[in-house]
Structure 1
Amino acid sequence: MNKIISLLCLLVFSIANLLAQTEEFAEELFENYPDFKEDKITERRIKHELIISLIEDLKAEAELEIMKVGESIEGRSLNLISLGNGDTDVFLWSQMHGDESTATMAIFDILNFFNSDEFEAEKKEMLSNLRIHFLPMLNPDGAEKFTRRNSLGIDVNRDALRLQSPEAKTLKRVRDSLEADFGFNLHDQSKYYNAERTEKPATISFLSPAYNYEKDINKVRGNAMKVIVKMNQVLQQFAPGQVGRYNDDFEPRAFGDNIQKWGTSTILIESGGYPDDPEKQEIRKLNFVSIITALHSIATGNFKDSGISEYEKIPNNDRMLFDLKLTGLGYDLNGKTYTLDLGINQFENDLKGNLDFYYSGRIVDQGDLSTSFAYEELDASGLKLEFGKIYPDMVNSKEELDKLDTSDLLKKGYAYIKAGEALLQQDYAEFPLNLVSIEFKLNENLRPGKDANFFLAKNGDIKYAVINGFLSDLDNPEQEIKNALILK
């Protein structure tokens, strides 16, 4: 009995020691990330042309093998980048959806890590045990327009059975040729997902996809779950409580489910939201750290010590987040005052060329929102909603706009300025009030789907402005409205 107890104590000590080593490695990666960040990528809206230039830069690295493995519908190349000499093949592909680029950015950071002179011991362990393959930007035609679907108008992630698109055919052919042991299916999800029943955004969500309707767990799927447990442990160091788990209902058309069924332990990673990170640069860093530590875990085999039960403890993904939530707001209607909560989101609208965007803020829900959360929340108890007014004077030029005292206008309840035709030709207003045409009619109907432009007042004194979904404390001029709208 004493011998058994001693062995169990030794096992527990060994597991604790391995966990500590993993956490230390992750901490060092996190701290040294600026050394590896690919500085040619600073924003999410990246194009195939940039990816090709980065791949060209990598061709000078002797340790890398680069191969064109296919083309998109519009003739853009699909490229596989491989390194390492091990017997275990790991295949990572990104941007199957053209507007989901966080992991594409992280892949080039990871390649910079492997091409650096740092972490030699850890890299040697990985590269001697693994053969690692990256296929960045699987859907370059979608990326060109920063849209989800490919040029055929289909979701490539629902083309695993028919294989109608060349992008899907390439993914299937590469997976089969590698017979990869592990696969990382790299995506982005909405920033409005949260970890179930918490106010924390699901900054990273995981899934070990089911390979049948029964959701059976065989060794292949179980290994993916164990790797996810390791990744979750690492992420809790840097984004505690901000990890979610996707629903695992079987989708027979999806690549993740089928690649799991074909024998590759498949880890789905979804990059969601993070406060004040519209270009997902912090989430990019979390991808970098968690993927490298996952590769190290596979190389050393220490993922095998993880329990599948720990995977099942990761909170489910929920979708109960707003950008802005106002609670307990007074709203007058037909002579009576009602108490409402408002949920407001700031939606992105791509500009011409799909390299930049502007925001349009809308009310998306109202009523009792006590089970919801938000990136920004204001207790509006004691405040009443007042709809914005139109400034009475016409403004015809930017010079005239610049002369206006916007702080004073907001405090007086003006949300709109009548603008001349020249000012109305822009996509949006680089100004803290909305610019409107002479024909514009005020909206005084509080409903989901309506623009979010109104004021919050106490005893007739305006305290806050909500312009295009952005909350501005009128006693705090440092708070900025990122943009307003052109409304005709």
Structure 2
Amino acid sequence: MQHEEIFSTYTNKEIKGRHITNESIEPILNKLNDDFKVKIEGKSVLEKPIYSVQFGHGKTKIYMWSQMHGDEATCTKAIIDFFELVSNHKEYSNFIQSKYTLYIVPLANPDGAEVHTRENINKVDLNRDVQESTQPESKILKQIFENFQPHYCLNMHDQRTIYGVGDTDKSAIISFLAPAYNVERDINEYRSKAMYIIGKINNVLQTYIPGHVGRYNDAYCDNCFGDYFASKNAVTILFEAGHHPNDYMRDITRKYIFISLLVAFDKIHENVLVDDNNSEYFKIPDNKVSFFDILYKNVKIIENGNEKIINFASQYKEVVKDGKILFEPYLVTIENDGQKYFGHIEYDLKEELFSSNYCSVPVNDVKSDFLIGKNKEFIDGILKQ
């Protein structure tokens, strides 16, 4: 079967959307067969269990963790889809079990997941807490690494809708990084292996989402888990799930994370390195902050008695209400810095005049309700028909 067919066959239908919590994954973990070892590694600040899942008995040890940022759930869904695959595809399950020992934390920040925030309930970014490990969630993630001593680490995140691929008008649907292990960002044997695998994943993804794969910034951060583990000679790969057009729930992006996992397991198994193994990695364009959720171009404003033509934007803030994620748009001003910006939705407003009950010109963090000209009414950032 091809990758997309495998995904459509083994997608777990019980889990979807952006708001993924322990309550979302517990029924699924409870139904896993005896090939899986499900364990409570410890508790969060609010005493919620942090689960691990161990699978396989092969010699290559892989440590994976997702949702250390509570509002970054796309990779968690892809992990659950992977569980569905190895639960029901005997041949592939045998391959994974014979080659790998997997140690997976599918949801590392259950308190943050519950309230849909990046930080844990103490407002600490767990991915800036590896050195001191001041939080129980950080302690658990670090302790697993020290006890398990993995050969490979897969560090799984979401990135915001603001990222594009290089100078193109394509959103970064998936981005990767072989994190640096020192400030100089040198390339050693372990980082080189990560680059090789990412290059191979990208080659496959280009057949599905051409031009939509980016390379994340590799500035070294000694308090980030991925960089720290890389400094301990684990081959570390950062996965960043981004925005597919019209997929704010990221149930399309999860497919490409799932496919990336399958390719990674295939390439780690091959373990073939060639002299120019970094070249394909460096062909991947850098991530660039170049997108807004909604972009309004060529708008007339009157400021201090003077007419100007400007561009401005709306950006969504994600809020949990009644257990669901709502996307609430707020105005964003755009600096005239010479950079070209794009919108996931764009309007050319042909130099018609901006007006609003909230402000005379666009200002940051104001509701995206306004009028353009005499009859173009925008409610929640969208042109009312």
- TM-score normalized by structure 2? 0.93
Q: CA deviation at 1:280?
A: 0.6
**Residues 265-306 of structure 1 deviation map (CA, whole Å, 9 limit, x = unaligned):** 010111121111111100111111111111111123246687
Task: Decide which of 54, 61, 68 is 1:96's aligned counterpart.
Answer: 68
Task: Decide which of 446, 470, 473 is 2:382's aligned counterpart.
Answer: 470
User: Given the alignment of the two structures, is residue 371 of structure 1 paired with residue 348 of structure 2, yes or no?
Assistant: no
**Residues 63-101 of structure 1 deviation map (CA, whole Å, 9 limit, x = unaligned):** 222222222122222222122221101111001111111
* 3-state SS of paired residue (1:356): strand
CA distance 1:154–1:335, change in 2 (3 Å): closer
* 3-state SS of paired residue (1:263): coil
CA distance 1:34–1:333, change in 2 (3 Å): same
CA distance 1:329–1:151, change in 2 (3 Å): closer
Match of 1:298 in 2: 268
Task: Decide which of 324, 349, 363 is 1:355's aligned counterpart.
Answer: 324
Match of 2:365 in 1: 449
Match of 1:112 in 2: 84
Match of 2:146 in 1: 176
User: Given the alignment of the two structures, is residue 321 of structure 1 paired with residue 303 of structure 2, yes or no?
Assistant: no
Indicate the structure (1 or 2) with the bigger Cα radius of gyration: 1
| In structure 2, C-alpha distance between the alignment counterparts of 1:207 and 1:255, rounded to whole Å | 13
Q: How does 1:429-444 map to 2 (within 5 A)?
A: 442-444=358-360
Match of 2:29 in 1: 55
**Which residue type is aligned with residue 468 of structure 1?**
D
CA distance 1:350–1:365, change in 2 (3 Å): farther
| In structure 2, C-alpha distance between the alignment counterparts of 1:471 and 1:197, rounded to whole Å | 28
**Which residue type is aligned with residue 52 of structure 1?**
E
Task: Decide which of 120, 129, 137 is 2:107's aligned counterpart.
Answer: 137
**Which residue type is aligned with residue 289 of structure 2?**
R
Question: Are the equivalent residues in 1 in contact too, given 2:40–2:51 (CA < 8 A)?
Answer: yes
Match of 1:384 in 2: 352
Task: Decide which of 285, 302, 309 is 2:255's aligned counterpart.
Answer: 285
CA distance 1:33–1:281, change in 2 (3 Å): same
* 3-state SS of paired residue (2:88): coil
CA distance 1:337–1:151, change in 2 (3 Å): closer
Task: Decide which of 40, 43, 47 is 2:14's aligned counterpart.
Answer: 40
| In structure 2, C-alpha distance between the alignment counterparts of 1:228 and 1:317, rounded to whole Å | 15
Q: CA deviation at 1:108?
A: 0.6
Match of 1:417 in 2: none
* 3-state SS of paired residue (2:95): helix
CA distance 1:31–1:385, change in 2 (3 Å): farther
* 3-state SS of paired residue (1:32): helix
CA distance 1:445–1:134, change in 2 (3 Å): same
* 3-state SS of paired residue (2:13): coil
| Gap runs ≥5 in structure 2 | none
Q: How does 1:182-221 map to 2 (within 5 A)?
A: 182-221=152-191
CA distance 1:166–1:193, change in 2 (3 Å): same
Match of 2:39 in 1: 67
Q: CA deviation at 1:240?
A: 1.2
Q: How does 1:247-266 map to 2 (within 5 A)?
A: 247-266=217-236
| Gap runs ≥5 in structure 1 | 1-24, 389-440, 475-488
Q: CA deviation at 1:232?
A: 1.1
Question: Are the equivalent residues in 2 in contact too, given 1:226–1:303 (CA < 8 A)?
Answer: yes
Task: Decide which of 246, 256, 260 is 2:216's aligned counterpart.
Answer: 246
| In structure 2, C-alpha distance between the alignment counterparts of 1:220 and 1:185, rounded to whole Å | 15
* 3-state SS of paired residue (1:30): helix
Match of 1:148 in 2: 118
| In structure 2, C-alpha distance between the alignment counterparts of 1:38 and 1:127, rounded to whole Å | 20
Task: Decide which of 277, 288, 295 is 1:307's aligned counterpart.
Answer: 277
| In structure 2, C-alpha distance between the alignment counterparts of 1:74 and 1:346, rounded to whole Å | 28
Match of 2:59 in 1: 87
**Residues 166-192 of structure 1 deviation map (CA, whole Å, 9 limit, x = unaligned):** 211111111122211111000111111
* 3-state SS of paired residue (2:239): strand
**RMSD of aligned Cα (Å):** 2.1
Q: CA deviation at 1:357?
A: 1.9
Question: Are the equivalent residues in 2 in contact too, given 1:46–1:355 (CA < 8 A)?
Answer: no
CA distance 1:385–1:452, change in 2 (3 Å): farther
Q: CA deviation at 1:332?
A: 4.0
CA distance 1:279–1:252, change in 2 (3 Å): same
**Which residue type is aligned with residue 267 of structure 2?**
S
Aligned-residue identity in percent: 31
Structure with the higher helix share, 1 or 2: 1
* 3-state SS of paired residue (2:58): coil
| In structure 1, C-alpha distance between the alignment counterparts of 2:371 and 2:365, rounded to whole Å | 18
CA distance 1:332–1:33, change in 2 (3 Å): same
* 3-state SS of paired residue (1:106): helix
* 3-state SS of paired residue (2:157): strand
Match of 2:206 in 1: 236
**Residues 138-173 of structure 1 deviation map (CA, whole Å, 9 limit, x = unaligned):** 111111111111123211111111112121111111
Question: Are the equivalent residues in 1 in contact too, given 2:303–2:361 (CA < 8 A)?
Answer: no
Question: Are the equivalent residues in 2 in contact too, given 1:350–1:358 (CA < 8 A)?
Answer: no
CA distance 1:306–1:288, change in 2 (3 Å): farther
| In structure 2, C-alpha distance between the alignment counterparts of 1:368 and 1:338, rounded to whole Å | 16
Q: CA deviation at 1:387?
A: 2.0
| In structure 2, C-alpha distance between the alignment counterparts of 1:302 and 1:123, rounded to whole Å | 22
CA distance 1:306–1:147, change in 2 (3 Å): farther
Q: CA deviation at 1:359?
A: 1.5
| In structure 2, C-alpha distance between the alignment counterparts of 1:229 and 1:239, rounded to whole Å | 15
